[in-house]
Amino acid sequence: MKIAIIYTGETRTIEKTIDYFKSNVLLNENCHVFAVLQSNNVDFHDNYVKTHLGDNLKSLSWFDKNNQLWCDIREHLLYNMDISEDWKNYLRNSGSMIEYYQMYLAFKEIEKIEHLYNYKYEYMMRIRCDVILTHPIYFDWYSSSINDTKEFLYKIVTIKNLTLISYDVLNIFFNTIYHQNRINCKNITYDNHLSKNFYNLLIIKDEDEFVKAVHDFLLNGKYILTLRKNQIYMTKRSNFTNIANLGITYGSHIMKNDYWFNAESQFAQICVENDLDVFDSTTTLEGKSLYEYNELNYFNPELLKTSEFLFFIRRV
């Protein structure tokens, strides 16, 4: 099973995060990294990233936010957005649009590799280079057996004292399959966007039929797993092409909220437009790392062993 990992962002804290990326994401030789990064010291970081990621690294590009092509694309997108000039200036000078253009560029490199070697990646993951994952990601859920699915469903039922055929069980199942100890999180919120295909699972009355249908949805359904909306996301390769185009279509995906033009809303809406069920979860500490980062909250040895956060953004 080949997994393409899109690795993007500024390298401000990469020297403190890259070892976690290697140990908790790059679990074997089939995890291939396609990186588009920014740095104020490209010569140093180019050698640093190549040395640390080794054979897992398949592509590395350095993004210049003053690149003329990017500036032209950005201004074209902003021109067509019905928002105030203040918000346009905010988007122009923030990383909101850039993160998706970097993703788009990385995806184009993935397509080149696929064409060159005549194969397709099976799964995709996008992660920022300033993110630390505290536990290894479990990528094998897509190839799990029906017995694995059944065992995990009943584990949730037992731990949470829930009825098997219920929204709560399915919600926990799909939001924790990449790391099962997330079941035990006390301070976790969910922000799913779900279709009729998902809710049809809850119409089933027979428990064995329910388990079989959930397993089929797990292997063949159209969905994406996200952490804190758009910080980390994982899905099948077949679902990713249109998502990658967000880099050149930003602002054209309109949600019914006041901030439809922000990075989180644009990502959520393009998933909905492409019929993807979105399973999203965030714990309190994961969310706080975006705006209230405190080193002591994350590098406490006892906390690192718990499920109170699976990831956080390393700010310093």
What does the pLDDT read at residue 306? Answer: 80
What does the pLDDT read at residue 41? Answer: 97
Query: Phi, psi (5° rounding) for residue 179?
Result: -165, 110
Strands of the chain (E only): list them. 3-10, 31-38, 57-62, 123-128, 131-133, 188-190, 223-227, 232-236, 277-283, 311-313
What does the pLDDT read at residue 305? Answer: 79
What does the pLDDT read at residue 214? Answer: 98
What does the pLDDT read at residue 12? Answer: 95
Strand partners, 10: 38
Query: Phi, psi (5° rounding) for residue 155?
Result: -65, -45
Which residue segment(s) compose the domain that 293 sits in?
3-313
**CATH code: domain of residue 184:** 3.90.550
Query: Phi, psi (5° rounding) for residue 159?
Result: -65, -40
Q: pTM for the complete prediction?
A: 0.96
Strand partners, 232: 127, 227
Angle in degrees, CA 18, 24, 25, rounded to 5: 80
In total, how many domains does the chain have? 1
Cβ distance 214 to 170 under 8 Å?
Answer: yes
What does the pLDDT read at residue 65? Answer: 95
Per-residue pLDDT of the chain (316 residues; tens, 9 = 90+): 899 999 999 999 999 999 999 999 999 999 999 999 999 999 999 999 999 999 999 999 999 999 999 999 999 999 999 999 999 999 999 999 999 999 999 999 999 999 999 999 999 999 999 999 999 999 998 889 999 999 999 999 999 999 999 999 999 999 999 998 899 888 999 999 999 999 999 999 999 999 999 999 999 999 999 999 999 999 999 999 999 999 999 999 998 899 999 999 999 999 999 999 999 999 999 999 999 999 888 988 888 878 789 999 998 9
